[in-house]
Amino acid sequence: MQTQGLGASDLAVTRIAYGCMPLGGAWDQSALSEANRQEALKIVRLALDQGINFYDHADIYCRGKSEETFATLWQERPGLREQIILQSKCGIRFADDPQPGFPHRFDFSYDHIVNSVEGSLKRLNTDYLDVLLLHRPDPLVEPEEVARAFDDLHAAGKVRWFGVSNHTAAQLDLLRQFVRQPIVANQIAFNVIHTHTLNEGIVFNQDNPLLSRNEGTIEYCRKHNITLQAWGALAWGKLTGRTVENPSPSLEKTSALVAKMAQEKGVSGEAILVAWILRHPAKIQAIIGTTNIQRIQASCQADGLALTREEWFQLFNAGRGEPLP
């Protein structure tokens, strides 16, 4: 599988990454079952066999069980840790954690960042993360605290590179004024039917623009060599067979177009969706999080598929649901 650089880092990452969120089974305090563990291992083995070298985690995924499950790989594949790239995220806190009555919240405090990394390292059974992302923007962020946490984690060899998730250009700009390590990635929701980060530049100065504000995030990341990562790359299955109650006309049209292109090119619908992301000149990394073996294989067909400008715009127009200006 083709690789590319990740921002200003020295990492060569596959253009398609695997999102490990569902590997831990249930999102509760129940113990990880052996059946869940074996199913997760089968999925990750397939992703490895497809050539994917980048695996995306978060401390909250299935309440830590996704990271715990993944670590089982080290037992059956000695030396694998040095051959793959592990990314995890922190900053989202559940309600009632650690005390009953505490709200769901975001937390970029020094203590939470450092403690979260320590927890991820323990669950993943590794000495270091290749990349740590701040998960969702914390409105109470103190950039100086983030900078101190990054400095200490980097100096201790526990995190090699740093990034963010779901951040706007303005939020990135503020953080970059304080941290010494380069921000190498920004993970955002992005797919054919979720194009908000593209629309601002399209609908500017129109009478009835789509309501979306991203402050030029894509352009900012391109300018400052920050790799965009697309979560939800497969549009949550809505265009490739998942049952959707009362689908909109635009969703039906887009689904039909994806199926038509797939048939004409002899590939899967998933491959079309991923290829659409990879076609963007920002070199966006597509993160697929399906647990369906066939869909993982289907998605990886995109690595050798190039869409034309016209094909890309056909899908963009359909997914937007309204004509371009």
* Residues that are catalytic: 61
Separation between Cα atoms, residue 90 and residue 190, nearest integer Å: 20
d(C-alpha 33, C-alpha 25), whole Å: 8
- Cα–Cα distance measured from residue 160 to residue 139, given in angstroms and rounded to the nearest whole number: 26
Pair of tokens at residue 62: 């299935």
Torsion angle, CA of 235/185/224/205, rounded to 10 degrees?
A: 30
CA gap 278, 15 in Å, rounded: 8
Structure tokens that stand for 294 in this block: 């066939």
Number of Cβ within 10 Å of residue 277's Cβ equals 25
The SS3 assignment for 186 reads: strand
- The sign of the torsion formed by the CA atoms of 302, 2, 135, 209 equals negative
Cα 198 to Cα 304: distance, rounded to the nearest angstrom: 24
Residue with tokens 């090119």: 265
Hey, which bits of 95-237 come out as E strands? Answer: 105-106, 129-134, 159-165, 183-189, 227-231
N-terminal to C-terminal alpha carbon distance within the chain: 37
User: Which tokens belong to 152?
Assistant: 């200490």
Rounded CA separation 272/239 (Å): 10
